[in-house]
Structure formats: structure tokens, C-alpha cells
Amino acid sequence: MRCVRCGNHEDKVIDSRSNKDGMSIRRRRQCLKCDHRFTTYEALEQRELYVIKRDKTREPLERAKLLQSLSKAAEKRPISRETLEESVDGIISELEEIGGAEVEASRIGLAVMRKLKAIDPVAYVRYASVYRSFQDVGEFLNEIQNMNDDPMHGTHHPELFKVKEPKPKPSAGAAKTLSSSST
């Protein structure tokens, strides 16, 4: 496995355990060059799931791609790689349970959003904003509104609400009210 830190291809497995469902193996590895530790997951190969995209074309659902989109949304957030991996596994098995060999892209998007919502509100909104490409701004704002009702949210994540707006210039008269009343 290629080390994510230094790119070296040699590592040793320091821990190996089977997942609860017995469908995958989680391996803890250590790079032989820089000692960086990372985790890999080996999954049982299953029937391929196809994604039907908005333009009606089909392509195989790629776990790596899905993981990448989650990772992107989770950038600089306190979310571990393991959590992301597990989320992706959860999303895929959820999609497989729906049945059928094909799944609509919108369905995947919703599954991802549900997962992220439970993990991290910022990652969730990031994903939602990209996924929806602001096609439906009203719906997007509703999502944010809904999250305000979430006790997890609020003052802890002020970065969500940093909207770039030109600041109104301070009016010259505003500071003048402190002058009188000392005779």
C-alpha cells in the first residue's frame, strides 16, 4: 500500500481485524520508511452497483470516489479517516439493501447527506451545497435552518454563516450620543 504521507510502497501490518459483518477486514499498517500509521479496508467483492446519473448515463459505483467526496466535505473537520471509511461502508450497504443493480445518483447524494448530518454539521452543509450545486437555493437554506434547531449547532460552528457581504460604512452620527448629561 502506498503511504499517504511519503508515498513509500512498503509497510507492515500491525493489526488486522474482521468487521462485525464479516464482509471486510480492517488493517492497521505502518509505513516502513516514515512510520506513518494508516488503515486499509479490504472488502469482499460484491456484485457491482451502478449509478444512474442525472443525464441518464450509467457508471459503476466507485467506493474510492464516494470516499473522496466525503473526505472533501470533511476537510479540516475533526472527523477521522476511520469514521469516513465506516460511513462509506454504511452508505454502500444501505444502497445495496434498496435492492436492484442500479441506483440513482440523487439517492446516493441523500444517503451521504444523511450520514454527514449525523457526523458533522459543517461537512454536511459543504456536501449539500456542492451536491445541490445551489440549484434549489430555497431548499438549501431550509437545510441550514433545520440545522439551527440542532443543539449540536449554533455558536460552535460560526464559520457556516460567514457570508461575504459588503459592510455598511459606520454612520458619522452614531458616536455622538455620549456627550451631554454632566453639568
List contacts with Zn ion (CB under 5 A): 3, 5-6, 8, 31, 33-34, 36
* Half-sphere exposure (Cβ direction) of 84: Cα atoms closer than 13 Å: 22
Tell me how far, at minimum, the Cβ of 23 lies from Zn ion, in Å: 29
Cβ closest to Zn ion, residue 12 vs residue 167: 12
Report, in Å, the least distance between residue 81 CB and Zn ion. 15
**Residue 30 or 69 with smaller CB distance to Zn ion:** 30
Indicate the residue among 8 and 39 with the shorter CB distance to Zn ion.
8
Strand, coil or helix: what is 170?
Answer: coil
Signed CA dihedral, 162, 88, 61, 112: sign only: negative
Residue 24 forms beta bridges with which residues? 43
At closest approach, how far in Å is the CB of 6 from Zn ion?
A: 3
CB of 13 to Zn ion, least distance (A): 15
User: What is the rounded CA–CA span in Å between residue 103 and residue 5?
Assistant: 34
Angle between helices 63-73 and 81-98 (to 10 degrees): 130
Smallest separation, CB 36 to Zn ion (Å): 5
Closer to Zn ion by CB, 2 or 58: give it.
2
Q: Which residue has the cell 486499509?
A: 40
Three cell numbers written together for 106: 440523487
Cα 162 from Cα 145, distance rounded (Å): 15
Query: Given the complex with Zn ion, which of 29 and 115 has the nearer CB atom?
Result: 29
